[in-house]
Structure 1
Amino acid sequence: MKATHEHEWEAAPGLPSALPKGERVVWQGAPDWKRLAIHAFHVRKVALYFALMLAVQAINLTAPEGRVDWKPLVVATSLYALALTLLLGTAWMSARSTLYTLTNKRVVMRIGIVLTLTFNLPFKRIAGASLKTQGAGTGDIALALHPEDRIGWAHLWPHQRAWHVTQPQPTLRCVPDSQQVGEQLLNLWRAERAGQSLQLGDSPATAPVNQPHTPNHGMLA
């Protein structure tokens, strides 16, 4: 993905300052906004909930002779459509304002729609990671930090691993070609921290022996 320079204060797209000598950008990318809407903003679940609510409302508004009072249904449908539009718009803006960067030394996450935040995650502070594929080549790459390092859950949202609140894990959400990006992260981590073991895979043949294998999940440990 070719980065565009939308933030004039950045030294380079996605980077708050110039890279030190010896450091280079290896990959940059952003979430697929449609997948982000589905997996982070749960648009499908919300739409299903609205559909069920409309069905219940239609049943309650059905007159004894079988006629339906359409006016309340039209109002409710308009409100539900507006809510879904706002949710989709938020997902689109979130993806558009996000830029993930892999260098040969660290992971950089520029996130935020109104308030832009940039997180620098050196490989030496990354204790592990997980890959969760979503189909169509996209997936989430969650980064587990050392216990002494902690980023606020609210600061990361929606770029965090679900259900990890006390020790939030920064996550590259809905990344296209996630398997290839995960392999790049693996190789960069190994090159930077030679002598330590890091593995990535979503099959029993490549998953670490100390981690249970689950379908569509790869582990870095």
Structure 2
Amino acid sequence: MKAVSLEKLLPADVPEGERILWHGRPQWISLARRAYRADYVAAYFVALTVWSLWPASEQGWSAAALAGVKTLGLGAAALAIVAALSFLSARTTLFVVTSRRLVFKVGIALPIFINIPFKDVGSAAARVYGDGTGDIPLALLKGRRIGYWLLWPHARPFHILNPQPCLRCVAEAAVVAETLGAALRDASGQSAAAAAQARETKSEPRADALTLAERAA
């Protein structure tokens, strides 16, 4: 794992006792295809080219060729814009999994940090694609909410009304999901242990008071 500058990674240094378990960025080609829908854009302009060739062919092959070149040129320009946005988004995005939380650094022009403590996460899943990249959507607990457009394109697709953060198009998604799942289980176990200890500590004064009352009687 490469060295990471924590001053650039997080708004403040990682607290004592917290460890970085994994960090990474989206793969821009996969991001272009899955988040920015480059495949659909390409298919649309191919269909539009075929549609434009049909009436233009009645005026001769030269007119048909000109119409096809124009449409394909527009399609190439659209795909270039999608590729540029995907590349910039991937270069400016950073996902960080620590032993206590998940941090999103997102934003091309105005980078922001989104801090998601594990206590706010209900579960995590993984969807692996054929090229080895994948998405890791998170299910937040009820009452926890992050704006969809604040997360996009790193939000779970088609969940505008119930925004869910998602690690989009990361390499080795299955391994990352396993690391995140283990961290969530550890954090859940520590929270349960802390709650049990708190209940025991809170019950001790009651026991002492009851003992004193019995002795006084």
Q: Distance in 1 between matches of 2:181 and 2:123?
A: 10
Give the counterpart of 1:175 among 170, 179, 196. Answer: 170
User: Which residue pairs with 1:71 in the alignment?
Assistant: 66
Q: Distance in 2 between matches of 1:195 and 1:109?
A: 23
**Deviation (angstroms), 1:174:** 0.6
% identical equivalent positions: 37
Structure 2: runs of 5+ lacking an equivalent: 193-217
**Deviation (angstroms), 1:127:** 1.0
Q: Within 5 Å, give how 1:56-205 maps onto structure 2.
A: 56-63=51-58, 67-69=61-63, 70-194=65-189
Residues 166, 102 of structure 1: alpha-carbon distance in 2 compared, 3 angstrom cutoff: same
**Deviation (angstroms), 1:71:** 2.8
Instruction: Indicate the larger mover: 13-22 or 99-108.
Output: 13-22
Q: Distance in 2 between matches of 1:123 and 1:13?
A: 22
The alignment partner of 2:181 has SS state of helix
**Deviation readout 1:87-136 (Å, 9 max, x if unpaired):** 11100111110000010000001011112121111111101122111123
Q: TM-score, normalised by structure 2?
A: 0.82
Q: Distance in 1 between matches of 2:108 and 2:140?
A: 24
What letter corresponds to residue 192 of structure 1 in structure 2?
A: A
State whether structure 2 residue 31 is matched by structure 1 residue 40.
no
State whether structure 2 residue 49 is matched by structure 1 residue 51.
no
The alignment partner of 1:61 has SS state of helix
Q: TM-score, normalised by structure 1?
A: 0.81
What letter corresponds to residue 78 of structure 1 in structure 2?
A: G
The alignment partner of 2:73 has SS state of helix
Residues 136, 71 of structure 1: alpha-carbon distance in 2 compared, 3 angstrom cutoff: closer
Q: CA RMSD in A?
A: 1.9
Structure 1: runs of 5+ lacking an equivalent: 6-10, 198-221
Contact 2:140-2:164 within 8 A present in 1 as well:
yes
**Deviation (angstroms), 1:190:** 1.2
Contact 2:41-2:75 within 8 A present in 1 as well:
no
Contact 2:122-2:139 within 8 A present in 1 as well:
yes
Q: Distance in 2 between matches of 1:94 and 1:157?
A: 10
Count of residues in Structure 1 that have an aligned counterpart in Structure 2: 191
